[in-house]
Amino acid sequence: MSSRVVRVYDGEFPSIDEIRFGDPAMRPPFPDEVWPRRMQPNEVALFCVNFKSQTPVREETGRPGPQSEETCRIFASVEDAEAYAQGIVKAHPTTVCILRSNNEMELKRISNSRFLSRSTFVSLLGLAFWFMAVTMTVLSMIWFSRVLTHSPRFEWILWLSAWQWFALIALSALLGISVVIFKFTVPAYRRVIRFRQALENELTPEEKTRFRQINALSTSPDPEDRNKAKQLHEEYLRRVSEIRQRVK
């Protein structure tokens, strides 16, 4: 089974600072995808991605690497590529192999079906567990209230039909999930509000005026303006970090 490894991209990826503050006329171009041009019409390219994120990974380890170093493996036929892919997904179950033709069309996906099925089952089992836990918690609260009060008003619970019990459980689960979501989202929302208020209060009018210039200066053809934008951006990040530490 003969194959060869080729680079997916030709060139280096520019840094964020080069993209944002570099000379518009001299900014390095984004790398060009060259792998299709290095294939014969009947050949097949094998790409490796993570089964969850679908981001590129290395075939040797199943772990991500720099995008600028991404490679694919070229085979003479789909059969050869598929046979090689089976070995990869067996060694690295979290990897999915994608076979593509030289016109960039996806031909097939090879994955470790046993691992993916087990992963899906575990995820569903976890969801079911939390659903049951929330449901039982709410129902326990209802029964506990019944025991404490000894009130005849709660006797209707004992005479519910199957559909009524189902509706009660669903409503209890919905209530429990809402409480969990409320518990996690409200504090986060309050932190965001406090942080925004801190930014508004602690940044002086002079700072706000200067920081508003960043976007305009970063797109200026004048190198001095772009250098000033970079300095302002770094100063802004420092001020934001200081304020965030105080808000905590």
Q: What pLDDT was estimated at residue 82? A: 94
Selection from 87, 90, 59 nearest residue 73 by Cα: 59
Q: How many residues does the chain have?
A: 248
Q: Which residues of the chain have pLDDT under 50?
A: none
DSSP track, 165-211: HHHHHHHHHHHHHHHHHHHHHHHHHHHHHHHHHHHHHHS-HHHHHHH
Q: Which helix (H) or strand (E) holds 73?
A: strand 71-75
- Return the DSSP state at 93: T
Q: What pLDDT was estimated at residue 122? A: 78
Q: What pLDDT was estimated at residue 91? A: 92
Instruction: For residue range 169-203, list pLDDT tens digits in order.
Output: 777 777 778 877 887 788 888 888 888 888 888 88
Predicted TM-score of the model (pTM): 0.53
Q: What pLDDT was estimated at residue 129? A: 76
Domain ranges of the chain: 3-111, 116-202, 205-247
Q: Which amino acid is at 65?
A: G
DSSP track, 10-68: ES-PPPHHHHHHS-TTTPPPPPEE-GGGGS-TT-EEEEEEETTT--B--TTTS----GG
Cα 72 from Cα 83, distance rounded (Å): 15
Give the contacts of 57 (CB within 8 A, at least 6 positions apart): 48, 49, 50, 63, 64, 65, 92, 95
Q: What pLDDT was estimated at residue 130? A: 76
